[in-house]
A = this chain, B = another copy of it.
C-alpha cells in the first residue's frame, strides 16, 4: 500500500497539471491529494491579503501561449509543455523581430535539450523558455507572440491535514505545490507527504499530533505562518520540509537554522544508519520553505530530509526533471521510508530509566544464556548497554548512539525491558 509503485502512479496523475503560486492547477492538485486524505482542509486566501512583508498576488490564469515562427509553425506551445511559458507571464499579443523576441527567451546553453523553468511572479513581464537547441535554429524574421494570460483578484489555495494524537504537541510536515511539470522538485514532495499522512493515520496509537500543509513555496508558507503563528509556536515540537524525495541517487540532510533541534537529531540519526554516505548540507545552502519556518522570530524546529537536493542535481528546474529517468518508484519509496523511520523514532523517543539499582540478574528473567563463556551474546550485550545508559538523562537517540546502533534495533529490546519492569520511560524534554 505504501510502496513506490503506488506513489509513482499518483505522481503521474499530478504531472501534467500547470501549477503556479495560485490558480486552477493548484486546486486540481489539492483535489487529487484529497482523494487520498479526505480530511484535507483546503483554504483560499484572497489576493491582496497582507502577510508580513508580502501580499498575496493576483491569481494567474493561462488560456493559451505560443509563438508563431516566420515560417508559420508554432513554437513554445504551453499546451505541449507548461514549462515553455515563464510563470506569471503578463498578457501580451504582438509581432516582434527575432532580436526583440530574444530578450524574452530563456534557455540553457550548457543543457541544449532542456527547457528551463523560469518565473516572474512580482514583475510585469512575460517570457518563454525554450531548449537551447531549438533556439539556435531560430531564423531572422517576424514572430507572432501570443501570451493569453490573465491576472485577476482571486485567491491563493493551500491544503492542510491534521491527524490528532494523544498530545497536542505537533509534528509539522510542509511540502509545496506550485511547480509545473517537474518531478523531483516538486511532485515527489506532495506525493510522499500524502502517503506519509495516510500511513500515520493508520497507526494504532499516535503520541504526537501531525499536521501536514501543502502550500505554494515561499508565499504559501509565509501566508500560513502569518495566519497560524501563535499555534505553530505553541505546538510544533518537530517537523520537516518535504522536498526532492523522489530520485535514487542520494540521501541528503539540511539542518534547521539552529541545527540542534530534535528534528535535526532524529534526521541525522536515521540518515546515518540508512546511508552512511548521506550528504550534509549547511543552513547556508537552504532554499525552500525552511527559510520561513526557521527565520528569526519564527524559529520552528524544521529540518529537511531529501534525496538529491534542489539545485544540486543536473536536471533541477528543467524539463529533464521527469518521472522516467529522475524520479522512480524506488526513489520515492526510499524518500518515504526515511521519513517514516524518522517519525517512528520520534514516536519512540523517550528518556529511559533503569528501575534496578545495579545490574539486574538477566539469567533469572529469561533474558540471558545459562552458562557463561568468554563473550556475552550480542543481544545480551545490547540489553546491558541499554540498561547502563538508561539513567533518566538519555533519550533513545543518545542511548542508540552510545550503543552504536540505529534506534530501530532498540525498539524490541526496550519493549521487552519495559514489560519485564526493568525499565521505565519518561516523557522528558525533547532535548537536553
Contacts and interface: CB of A to CB of B under 8 A. Distances in A.
Contacts of A358: 51-54, 221-222, 225-226, 292, 295, 298
Given A225-B358, A283-B388, A371 B298 contact: no
A403 interface: yes
Interface stretch (A2-10, A35-43, A340-348, A360-368): A360-368
A371 B222 contact: no
Interface residues of A, number: 62
A373 B286 CA distance: 16
B311 A374 contact: yes
Given A125-B370, A284-B402, A53 B361 contact: yes
Interface in A369-410: 370-375, 384-385, 387-388, 390-392, 402-404
A384 B358 CA distance: 47
Given A295-B388, A311-B374, A388-B291, A122 B357 contact: no
Given A361-B54, A374-B317, A284 B122 contact: no
Contact of A371 (B52, B118, B387): B118
A176 interface: no
A336 interface: no
A73 interface: no
Contacts of A429: none
A260 interface: no
Contact of A122 (B283, B364, B374): B364
A216 interface: no
The 3 A-B pairs at the shortest CB distance, nearest first, are namely A296-B391, A53-B360, A123-B370
